[in-house]
Structure 1
Amino acid sequence: MTHFVDIGALDDVPKQGARVVKTAQGCIAVFRTADDQVFALDDRCPHKGGPLSEGIVHGSSVTCPLHNWVFEMNSGEAQGADEGHVRTYPIRVEHGRILISAGLMARRVA
């Protein structure tokens, strides 16, 4: 069974914006779409290391602020001609609170 931890209120993340959660594994970008969907991805573009949390959210995608790579937030896959992948994390909203997988946040990369 997956355990989740509360990381804040949905209203703490602006619509079409992001906030960063610092974990033992590194920084995770938590995104909110215009229709209140939430997504969690590594906050680092695999292309040049750009902070995805500073990117532009459009639909269920985010565009890296450095070189305009576009990532589908559901899968973490780069779109178009770009090739790459960003790790995603289980996340959900309950009663206006954002919950993220506790297990994935605790793991360390070898």
Structure 2
Amino acid sequence: MTVFIDIGALEDIPRQGARVIRTAQGCVAVFRTMDDRVFALDDRCPHKGGPLSEGIVHGDRVTCPLHNWVFDMNSGTAQGADEGAVRTWPVRVEQGRILISAELVSRPRAA
């Protein structure tokens, strides 16, 4: 069973925008779509390390700001580019609050 922790209000993220949270697993970009869906992805494009949180959100996709790789935020897979993917994290909204997997803050990185 996934345990979730509160990381803030949905209204803290503009529609079609993102915020970055720093976690035990590294930086994670939390995105809000125009229709208030929320996604959480590692904030580093596998191509050249671009910050996905600074990318363009369109529907359930985000485009990397460096080289235009497009990622499906549901799966983390790159679309129409070389092979690549980013990790996705369980996230949901309850009563206007964003909840994300507690695994992000409780499990240290492997050495």
Instruction: Sort the TM-score into its range (normalised by shorter chain).
Output: over 0.9
Query: Hey, what does 2:85 align to over in structure 1?
Result: 85
Query: Hey, what does 1:16 align to over in structure 2?
Result: 16
Amino acid at match of 2:33: T
Query: Hey, what does 2:48 align to over in structure 1?
Result: 48
Percent identical among aligned pairs is 79
Query: Hey, what does 1:64 align to over in structure 2?
Result: 64
Q: Cα RMSD (Å) of the superposition? A: 1.0
Q: TM-score scaled by structure 2? A: 0.95
Contact 2:24 2:104 in 1 (8 A): no
Q: Give SS of 2:67's match.
A: coil
Query: Hey, what does 1:75 align to over in structure 2?
Result: 75
Query: Hey, what does 2:36 align to over in structure 1?
Result: 36
Encode CA deviations 1:79-100: one digit per residue, 9 max, x unaligned.
0133100000000000000000
Query: Hey, what does 1:97 align to over in structure 2?
Result: 97
State the 4+ residue runs in structure 1 displaced beyond 4 angstroms: none
Report deviation, 1:104.
Answer: 3.8
Encode CA deviations 1:4-31: one digit per residue, 9 max, x unaligned.
0000000000000000011111100000
Contact 2:70 2:81 in 1 (8 A): no
Q: TM-score scaled by structure 1? A: 0.96
Counterpart CA distance in 1 for 2:22 and 2:29 is 9
Number of aligned residues: 110
Runs of at least 5 residues in structure 1 that lack an aligned partner in the other structure = none
Query: Hey, what does 1:106 align to over in structure 2?
Result: 106
